[in-house]
Structure 1
């Protein structure tokens, strides 16, 4: 019997880092600046430092697990293999809230952008065009997806660099704090720790995307580069967020300059560089959203592929790899179809529910390190092992717990309902646990 086609290994280290950064959308620091500045009493960059610390511990856990289980399934695979197939399924199902809905949110943002520029054109047209392009590129080639994504990411990072230069000039001329180097964006007398943590819960989700890198493990030219790519993505993304947040906060110590605080990117660009720079910077926001759309679309397609390959979802459809393009074509098209729902009304609640799925994944990746190394492999006989495989993931899980505490109530309720649906589905496919959830076989790994 001929072996089923596998995913194509075509991604180098920086291609994977680019996909992670594209998923994270670096320009989001300017979109959320007004909200976070209000929440933190004017210390946005400090909130990003706190969030970066949380994400680094979880990133280290992802790096450890992807070395042990070099599969495209991410938190789903790690939980499945270290705890139980049932728990793995629930984690994978919950993660779909993050992975499956984010491409739809990107399509919604694109719709909003184009509708504001061309109000006379029906908004649904932009959704259809955008989804068709992103779906087509993802079906065509993972390499092409990576190349397009890299171009967009480089473009938006260059624009952020231009913003920093313009902000430097404005600060030198006396705008805002009136000085380039100041501690005010990081700490001042009115700052309260609880307010900083509240802001950190918002900006932490700017980092969502580094975890999706593990979805590309089976398409990495050298799978050993994936842990490095995870760490680099978090560090580079965190540095961009911090620098952008610092200069924005130095220029705008409070939000009194802004007419609209829910999305301050256009006004930040306007006050920093004028009308022309505003239009150019908005083009960077378009590029950032498109890059995130490409990366998130590719990631969820791989998660569905692994779940289908394992037989948790119907294998004929979800486990299918196109023989020519070597991509999970059915899943890519399915994600595109779901993204078309962005034609409909406001997706504020759905956007909030994404956070629930991400926190489920972050929590269980940290716990899977403990389950594998401490419980299964008995790696607790030296101080070094205890630190690496117990203390560090416990810190990661604990810091993630802080984010759970500040999770939006509607997001929690929506997430619990989604998990309940997944549990019912699991009862059906196992005949109320009379049958096992399909295990990974030796043929599952991609060549």
Structure 2
């Protein structure tokens, strides 16, 4: 029976020890990894889109999405501490519900990370071409170098988005040379963005006017099934911004003392970022207003649509928050802090590479473990003898993401990425509940409090947000899963190590195959 292909927990741990990644990350680095992904994506990319969907209700949307993430993070913390190996939701599903469902989860995560990394690369390109080159250096990049031929809304005659291609390849190179080296760079970028956002809150919150929050829910709490608008629809979109805590769990195999540090990294990064989200949204909307531009029937125009672009071109809406491509800098310029606004734009330019780094990090680790299990060609899981990183899969992933960012439409893809994310989070909650019942005596360094409540709330919350995505986004997941099943039955099913009986046993002599290299990948 294919659903009987469940990989024992001890076998997963033994396999990880035999071909393992170097443990170099601590709790602080894991927390910074999560903050690096969460804050960069949500605040700098999705603020205007979220306001167009929900208006001032964007603050409530952050709370709704954060609440679902909190219960999901608790489930992640328990199982990640028990299974401190790479692979995240894929590995957890493999150990509890079997190979087929694990494959669908891993396949969904591949889609999620690839779309997100490509989209953020294009977002960085916009800041680079506009804020840095044009505003500060007075250089206008030729249209054929700043937009791909298939980019939505790209300039006529576009050939390639060269800045997006370059930043994706640079981040890929950084990940290849070492995990801790990447973490050090990420720590600097996180410090820059936290400083910028703190300055934003200090300058905007004292100028908040309560009248700007009325009406608070102009599009209602629920926009309707498949509409993607309203506070809940906005929550389904900005859920994309919380994927950072999932990336933290993919780093479990490279973490020192994972039983302690993984839960700290997961919950710590999520809590810090949720507070930032709510306060920054309050400052932005409370100072210049954040009402959506309504279309026929009192329904907001879709974010990123041609109809909204035409409305934003009109003088009456030119200064609207929902029409800005750099929302936070736009707010500061409108309340008299133009110099600080430009500095914040630079901070966003510096911060977005850390988002790309975390997304690429998460995807390469998913690929690494699926290859190590035989579900993908084993050559992908090779660990570099010096850098101690999965360099083959990192290089391949980076090239694909870079090419997608250079040539393909990656505009309003957060909803598509969310479909796979919500599915993975739901499966983790199910795995934790099943594992509690099947293996109650196994040591758990972290236990989910009131799992009987937290587990079902996670499942209900994920399904609820999924059903509030736009219809097109909901359809992507089953289509992508269908493609994945073709790959699975065409290659993975017969090459699976578990299916072929190649299951490691937990023995003391199973350690790293590579010799320890002093100074490489270590954090001091």
Residue correspondences, number: 429
Provide the rounded CA distance (Å) in 2 between the counterparts of 1:322 and 1:5: 11
Does residue 243 (structure 1) correspond to residue 279 (structure 2)? The answer is yes
Contact 2:87 2:365 in 1 (8 A): yes
Q: How big is each residue's C-alpha offset from its partner over 1:154-197, in whole Å with a ceiling of 9 and x where there is no partner? A: 101100111112114534xxxx338xxxxx75985868432322
Deviation (angstroms), 1:261:
2.3
**Of 163, 172, 185, the match for 1:126:** 163
Please state if 1:193 is matched with 2:193: no
Displacement over 4 Å in runs of 4+: 184-191, 437-440, 443-447
Distance 1:44 1:303, change over 3 A: same
- SS at 1:25's partner residue? helix
Shift of 1:273: 4.6
Q: Which range is displaced more, 192-201 or 329-338?
A: 192-201
Pick aligned residue for 2:480 from 377, 395, 418:
418
Q: Is the 8 A contact 2:56 2:217 kept in 1?
A: no
> Could you tell me which residue of structure 1 aligns to residue 270 of structure 2?
234
State which drifts further: 354-363 or 107-116.
Answer: 107-116
In structure 2, distance between residues paired with 1:30 and 1:272 = 18
Gaps of 5+ in 1: 179-183, 380-384
Q: Aligned partners of 1:363 and 1:157: how far apart in 2?
A: 30
1:396-435 to 2 correspondences below 5 Å: 396-429=458-491, 430-431=493-494
Q: Is the 8 A contact 2:40 2:348 kept in 1?
A: no
- Structure-1 residue corresponding to 2:249: 214
C-alpha distance in structure 2 between counterparts of 1:220 and 1:249, whole Å: 39
Secondary structure at the counterpart of residue 450 of structure 2 = helix
Question: Could you state the TM-score of these two structures normalised by the residue count of structure 2?
Answer: 0.75
RMSD: 2.9
Task: Structure 2 unaligned segments of length 5 or more: list them.
Answer: 1-16, 147-160, 223-229, 292-316, 442-446, 513-524
Contact kept? 2:109, 2:363, Cα under 8 Å = no
Can you list the C-alpha shifts for 1:85-127, whole angstroms capped at 9, x where unaligned? 1111111111111123322222221222233334334233323
- Of 98, 101, 104, the residue aligned with 1:87 is 101
Kept after mapping to 2: 8 A contact 1:131/1:340: yes
Which of 31, 34, 50 is the matching residue for 1:20?
A: 34
Alpha-carbon distance between aligned partners in 2 of 1:216 and 1:301, rounded to the nearest angstrom: 11
Deviations along 1:273-308, whole A, 9 cap, x unmatched? 533222211111112211101111111111111111
Q: Is the contact made by 1:25 and 1:289 (CA closer than 8 Å) also made in structure 2? A: no
Cα pair 1:71 1:215 within 8 Å, conserved = yes
Given the alignment, which residue of 20, 40, 46 partners 1:6? 20
CA distance in 1, matches of 2:287, 2:501: 56
Q: CA deviation at 1:378?
A: 6.1
The equivalences for 1:270-281 within 5 A come to 270-281=333-344
Query: Does 1:300 find its partner at 2:335?
Result: no
CA distance in 1, matches of 2:117, 2:218: 39
**2:210 equivalent in structure 1:** 177
1:398: Cα distance to partner?
A: 0.3
**Residue in structure 2 matched with residue 392 of structure 1 by the alignment:** 454
Cα 1:5–1:325 shift into 2, 3 Å: farther
Residue 33 and residue 100 in structure 1: after superposition, are their counterparts in 2 closer, same or farther (change >3 A)? closer
**Structure 1 residue 399 displacement after superposition:** 0.9
Following TM superposition, by how much is the alpha carbon of 1:323 offset from its aligned partner in structure 2, in angstroms? Answer: 0.8
